[in-house]
Amino acid sequence: MINPLRQTRVPLRLPLRLQALPLRQARAFHSSPNKNNLARVTSESQQTQQPQVPAQELQKALPLTPPSFAHLKDFSVGELFSFMTIGAVASHKSLLNLAIKAFPFVPMPLIKALVYNIYCGGENIEEVKQTGARLADRGINNMMLSLTIEACNGNDNIDPDFIVQQTQHSVDEILIPHTISMLETSGKDVNSVPPGYVALKPTGFVKNAAAVLKNFDQPEYKAEFEDLVSKVSAICQTIYDSNQRLAQLYPSRVAPFAVGVIDAEKHELQEGVYELQRRLYQQFNKLDAPVSVVGTLQMYLSESSDLLAKEEKLANENNYRLGLKLVRGAYIHSEKDRATVIHKTKEDTDMNYDQGISYCIDSILAHQGNESTIGHLVVASHNAESMKLATQKTYQSEFSIGNKNKANICLGQLLGMADSVTHDLISNDKVDNIIKYVPWGPPKETKEYLLRRLEENGDAVKNDNGIPLVKAAILTMFRKIFA
């Protein structure tokens, strides 16, 4: 029979590093070739006659996609001006470094005028609701909300109870109504509307967060750690209850309606974060039901493949399901033990990331319903090649056709980042399950988050940034003004 999906979708050309990945793996990561680090995978793959490209040649072998700025037409003149500024700053490494150094001293009103609105969804619930509506106009039907109050670097003015309360409001007043509205009005099938996610930053839920997370298993920090767990758990309970209620209204939906996502932090805090995630999985990710909690794995960590195997093993032993958000990792610039904890090269991180998402997607698509140990995956990346791989496996592989469980695989990018990639996935690959991570909150508190976005602008070879972005933003601005 001719496959209608194959006919309508534009075939994706996978870059060399992805062509080398086997399409189907065994269903346990601890016994999978994907578990091991790059060197080990290469040698195992060679045994099975898989073509391999030496890591240092990969970058040269990958063709850069021609830059497309079609997405810019969806933005206002003010936003285009912001893109122009960001493009100008990112056009030269030394200019970007200067901007990064000067950033802490830039007055808040200037930050608000120039970059806040590009990267952040608003200061209050009303503004974030409007952001949700604007994203829906661009075909992005849900969000991952993050009340962004950076707490771990000595900002102990935070009030964890206030964060819990505001986060609960964001679930009740933004995420749930927005998800229902998308289910009712978007014209999409019940399994083609992504869940609403709420990102939960562990450092925001307790004072002295860094010490509590680092020493979570020490008696003197036990009470504070338990308090942190109970605060995050209260939010996840709201999410779990909403999922139960909405499942009655939309019984044919396979994916959850709302999901609590634990964000990953600096490496030295992660053991405490993993413990938090496991407690929440156990409480809210019941067998044979959609998950309500997703934890994060940073695939730039050299230990990450072992961690994925460990999480899967613990879930099987303790009878709960895993929800995973796979990221490369955002703290490379501030990681003090970078040489020991992070993969040696970008290529190693890329390979590890692609193997991780491949394994999780295969795992989810090996079932039609909620039976798999890995119950939900967020592929959180701006990397166009990783997105191509995820899209190809989720929508075009032989295991995906007619498989409702693909609703449990969602792609995500940060607001204001990789908008051309998001636009391409929606317009050309017809991807429905795609969201933007939307930080919100007072501009002063989001300063560290904004700084990380600036740093990322200089991380990879970007063909949709710098001078080409400046030119495209000016052209689109002129078209808008004189149309």
Q: Given the rule CB under 6 A, which residues bind ligand FAD?
A: 144, 263-264, 296, 298, 300, 327-332, 342-343, 345-346, 349, 380-383, 412-414, 437, 456, 459-460
* Cβ nearer to ligand FAD, comparing 208 with 345: 345
| Whether the Cβ atoms of residue 397 and residue 30 lie closer than 8 Å to each other | no
Closest CA to 265 of 151, 371, 375, 355: 151
| Whether the Cβ atoms of residue 198 and residue 440 lie closer than 8 Å to each other | no
CA 32/CA 312 separation, integer angstroms: 12
* Cβ nearer to ligand FAD, comparing 192 with 383: 383
- Give me the least distance between CB of 457 and ligand FAD, in Å please: 10
Determine the longest span between alpha carbons in the chain, in angstroms: 67
- Give me the least distance between CB of 263 and ligand FAD, in Å please: 3
CA 362/CA 390 separation, integer angstroms: 10
Bridge partners (DSSP) of residue 325 are 296, 378
* Cβ nearer to ligand FAD, comparing 308 with 477: 308
- Give me the least distance between CB of 467 and ligand FAD, in Å please: 19
- Give me the least distance between CB of 386 and ligand FAD, in Å please: 6
Measured in whole angstroms, the distance separating CA 186 from the mean position of its chain's CA atoms is 23
- Give me the least distance between CB of 350 and ligand FAD, in Å please: 7
CA 90/CA 84 separation, integer angstroms: 10
- Give me the least distance between CB of 232 and ligand FAD, in Å please: 14
Amino acid at the residue 23:
L
* Cβ nearer to ligand FAD, comparing 370 with 394: 394
CA 341/CA 343 separation, integer angstroms: 7
* Cβ nearer to ligand FAD, comparing 67 with 113: 67
CA count, 13 A, side-chain hemisphere, 35:
16
Amino acid at the residue 140:
I
Bridge partners (DSSP) of residue 322 are 374
Secondary structure element (H or E) that encloses residue 452, with its range: helix 447-456
Secondary structure element (H or E) that encloses residue 412, with its range: strand 409-414
CA 110/CA 104 separation, integer angstroms: 12
* Cβ nearer to ligand FAD, comparing 33 with 329: 329
- Give me the least distance between CB of 413 and ligand FAD, in Å please: 5
Sign of the alpha-carbon torsion through 105, 107, 110, 112: positive
- Give me the least distance between CB of 59 and ligand FAD, in Å please: 11
Residue 60 in tokens: 């040269």
- Give me the least distance between CB of 152 and ligand FAD, in Å please: 12
* Cβ nearer to ligand FAD, comparing 331 with 399: 331
Who's near 348: CB < 8 A, 6+ residues apart? Answer: 37, 38, 55, 302
- Give me the least distance between CB of 264 and ligand FAD, in Å please: 4
C-alpha pair distances (Å), 27 with each of 139, 235, 338, 369, 472 = 34, 32, 31, 16, 46
* Cβ nearer to ligand FAD, comparing 382 with 406: 382
Residue 456 in tokens: 């990322």
Q: What is the DSSP letter of 66?
A: P
* Cβ nearer to ligand FAD, comparing 116 with 331: 331
* Cβ nearer to ligand FAD, comparing 147 with 477: 147
- Give me the least distance between CB of 382 and ligand FAD, in Å please: 3
- Give me the least distance between CB of 200 and ligand FAD, in Å please: 10
CA 34/CA 49 separation, integer angstroms: 16
* Cβ nearer to ligand FAD, comparing 17 with 382: 382
CA 234/CA 227 separation, integer angstroms: 11
* Cβ nearer to ligand FAD, comparing 240 with 353: 353
